[in-house]
Amino acid sequence: MNVRNFADFKSFLLDNKTVKQTIFKNTFWLAVAEGISRLLKLVLLIYVARILGATEYGKFTFALAFVSLFAIFSDFGLSSIITREFSREKEKEKEFSPVFSLKILLSIGALILILIGSFFVTPDPVIQKVIWILAIYIIVSGFSEIIYAFLRARQRMEYEAWAKILQAVVVTGAGFFIILSFPSVQNLSYSYLFASLAALIFILIFFHFKVYHLHINWNKLIWKRFLLMSWPLALVTISYTIYTNTDSVMMGYWGQMTQTGWYNAAYKIIGVTLVPVGIILQSFFPVLSKAFKESKEQLQKVWNYQMGIMTLIGVPLVAGGIALAPRIIDLVYGLNFSPSIFAFQILIIMSGIAFLHAPFNQALVVSDQQKKLFWATISTAMVNIILNLILIPRYSLYGAATATVITYFLIFLLLFKFTSKYTSINPLNLKVLFVFIGAIFSSTIMYFAVSQTKIYYLNIFLSILIGIVIYLVCLFAYRKLAYQIFIHLK
């Protein structure tokens, strides 16, 4: 599509024309939304950590991690199924109201579970109250996700982008006001709750009048059909939630609140590095679902494209993160959080693995093999719990980080095997290998370059920029040198 004037530019970013243009449009809007919202929330949490200190920050992240373990029951995999099913057949959109009604019931059930569990996980009444407040916050935020799932099915990610930005601005603004005026973990929790509630009300009003007319519909047959499709994905999400939150809950339960603060300080930055994973997955999911219905060749082509992007981002991220970890932690949190450095270096490896295994995860979902995905993730979730029980008492936050990396590596191996065996996708093809070798080659040179004293001790943003330039130059050189060998891949 040629962009010659403002009207063409507007159409390029708002209309769905071709497969590549639609992927680019969706990726652009999701990148804008995730970039702004994650950046705002990260800045807020940095100030929270600096003002409250590692111990109080650890209490907040412990409560949030505990709530997150149960929050998945409020969605139960429905969001992914909505996107998959509605993107394949637009007529199914009439079933959204019954599913939204089911969401209400699931949310009430999840809230009850969290309230009961709070009495067993900590005797501290202040932390218990923070858990109750954050429980309502998580449930409220979950209603936005099911709206976003509908918009993704229509491939209208621009609406989702503006809603996420609004939500992030309101939550961050309220959080800054509270933490600077009335600093406490409990007050911060209240700011999260009321800000997210205000944003949700606006989102629901817009969706109801501009996109789809919402109403309550207690259709149990539709509930049953969607739950039968979604339960494997729900358990998969529970498994990933275990990877992400069990370590923090265990450390907090054993009284390691300061270590929990150090660990989550590193993890929050890792969360930002994972933003591209979510953006790319959400952008490709409707396209992959459609390609699955069309042909094996089209599915393989789109999947290769997705895997290539993930590889080119994930591999250099690990190399650069390990090299510059001390500079990053010092810049963001200061010297009081120096124990977070080694945890960050371990966790950045997990981030790289997450980039590589995400396309396999999505390949199984679009191929209706979510049960295989379930068995892979639930088995590794059990391994993660065992590793945390062994490693955290001995190595604290570093044991937790190591357990996470081992778990992600195991899930990568299982997803690779299941994708090869149970889908039409060939994951180990020449195009993917060509990209992977180039990423490794370029990232290795970049690592040694940014580790040099003259580059390492520059302004951290300049060091990162130099690393990116070196990586891209090496990648370009690799492609030129290897072009004759791999000419048939073009």
Q: Which pLDDT score is estimated for 397?
A: 93
Rounded to a whole number of angstroms, the distance between the first and last alpha carbons of the chain is 21
Residues 6+ apart with CB under 8 A from 255: none
Query: Where exactly are the structural domains of the chain?
Result: 16-428
Q: Round the CA-based radius of gyration of the chain to a whole number and report it.
A: 22
Spans in the chain with pLDDT lower than 70: 1-23, 482-490
Q: Which pLDDT score is estimated for 11?
A: 61
Q: Which pLDDT score is estimated for 278?
A: 78
Where residue 307 falls (left for φ over 0; alpha for ψ -120 to 50; beta otherwise) is: alpha
* Residue linked to tokens 């621009």: 158
**How far apart are alpha carbons 304 and 428 in whole angstroms?**
10
* Mean pLDDT over each residue of the chain, to the nearest integer: 85
**How far apart are alpha carbons 114 and 13 in whole angstroms?**
41
Q: Which pLDDT score is estimated for 21?
A: 67
> Exposed, middle or buried, 212 (CB in 10 Å: 0-12/13-18/19+)?
middle
Q: Which pLDDT score is estimated for 151?
A: 80
Q: Which of 99, 109, 162, 169 is nearest to 139 (CA)?
A: 109
| Residues 309 and 69: beta-carbon distance below 8 Å | no
pTM, rounded to two decimals: 0.75
